[in-house]
Amino acid sequence: MSDWVKFYDFKHSVIYVNARHRDVHYRAIAESIRAYVPSPAAHVLDYGCGEATSADLVADACAQLVLVEAAPNVRASLTMRYAGHPKIAVIAAEQAAALPKAFDLVVMHSVAQYLTQAELDRLLAMFRALLKPDGLFVLGDVVPPHIAAPAAALALLRFGAANGFFWAAAFGLVRIFASDYLRLKKTAGLSHYTEAAMLERLRKAGLKAERATRNIGHNRWRMTFLCRAA
Ligand SMILES: C[S@@+](CC[C@H](N)C(=O)[O-])C[C@H]1O[C@@H](n2cnc3c(N)ncnc32)[C@H](O)[C@@H]1O
């Protein structure tokens, strides 16, 4: 397990300042993913889905939703949450490559920053293989190199102010900085990409890509890319 996966391997990650933040966050992500579902018959994969507390909103709009999560405790909690849901399956990261190559939509949101370039390239090749010929791969929340930390802090405060948890967001920022986040940022590193660098990586992976007009996540400085097999 990578150090970043260990960092996220809690039932409730320190990254979410309180339950309201977590739920508003995952609802917004689910609504954005749902908007990319091409039809009610679609098969959808969400790689690195995290706590995904609103995944049922996505499932309501498609035929099958596969949630892939590397962190075992998060996965156990997802498995309990969606046990018996007729459209949702929860699997481990190493099981993803063996899935049928028949997805209409593959999403990876807010994960690329935790991957080395080699890990990202391996996953891009896998996603390309899992997509149907006309399938869409959405790569979201890609972090650009400049002012990443102040932008993330400001975006969180704005998100908190807009959703009734500004002070919790402010205290939460202190908690995040007191957590292992900064140490891991130095030791494990975070991957940043300019728009041009990411477009080039996607092209090399055999994907035709363009930057979406807005990011899926609430941080408007981060980038979402829409990709199809070239
Ligand atoms: C910020 S959360 C994103 C969760 C969700 N997709 C969202 O947008 O809120 C980061 C996720 O990346 C996953 N992750 C980090 N490093 C990873 C790796 N090397 N392989 C697979 N998943 C990884 C973590 O397990 C965690 O679920």
Q: Which atom of ligand 1 is nearest to the CA of 107?
A: 6
Distance 111 CA to ligand 1 centre (A): 5
Residue 82, ligand 1, Cβ within 6 A: no
What local confidence, expressed as pLDDT, does residue 12 receive? 65
Distance 5 CA to ligand 1 centre (A): 7
What local confidence, expressed as pLDDT, does residue 74 receive? 95
When pLDDT is cut at 50, 70 and 90, the band that residue 94 belongs to is: very high
199-208: per-residue pLDDT in tens? 999 999 999 9
Best probe residue, ligand 1, of 3, 5, 216 (max atoms within 8 Å of C-beta): 5
| For residue 120, pLDDT beyond 80 | yes
Q: For 165-193, what is the mean pLDDT?
A: 86
Q: For 148-161, what is the mean pLDDT?
A: 88
Q: Which atom of ligand 1 is nearest to the CA of 119?
A: 19
Among 10-19, 56-65, 149-158, the minimum mean pLDDT is found in 10-19
d(CA 134, CA 218): 28
Reading across the β-sheet that carries 131-142, which strands appear in turn?
88-91, 64-68, 43-47, 103-109, 131-142, 223-229, 207-211
Distance 167 CA to ligand 1 centre (A): 26
Q: Which residue has tokens 């891009």?
A: 124
What local confidence, expressed as pLDDT, does residue 169 receive? 87
When pLDDT is cut at 50, 70 and 90, the band that residue 11 belongs to is: low
Q: For 159-177, what is the mean pLDDT?
A: 87
What local confidence, expressed as pLDDT, does residue 115 receive? 96
57-76: per-residue pLDDT in tens? 999 999 999 999 999 999 99
Closest to 69 in 3D by CA, of 130, 11, 139: 11
Best probe residue, ligand 1, of 3, 4, 181 (max atoms within 8 Å of C-beta): 4
d(CA 61, CA 44): 10
d(CA 159, CA 215): 14
d(CA 224, CA 230): 18
19-60: per-residue pLDDT in tens? 888 999 999 999 999 999 999 999 999 999 999 999 999 999
Check: CB of residue 156 under 8 Å from CB of residue 166.
no
Q: For 168-196, what is the mean pLDDT?
A: 87
Round the average pLDDT of the chain to a whole number and report it.
93
Among 1-10, 11-20, 26-35, 197-206, the minimum mean pLDDT is found in 11-20
Neighbours of 178 (CB within 10 A): 10
Q: Give the pairing of strands 103-109 and 43-47.
A: parallel
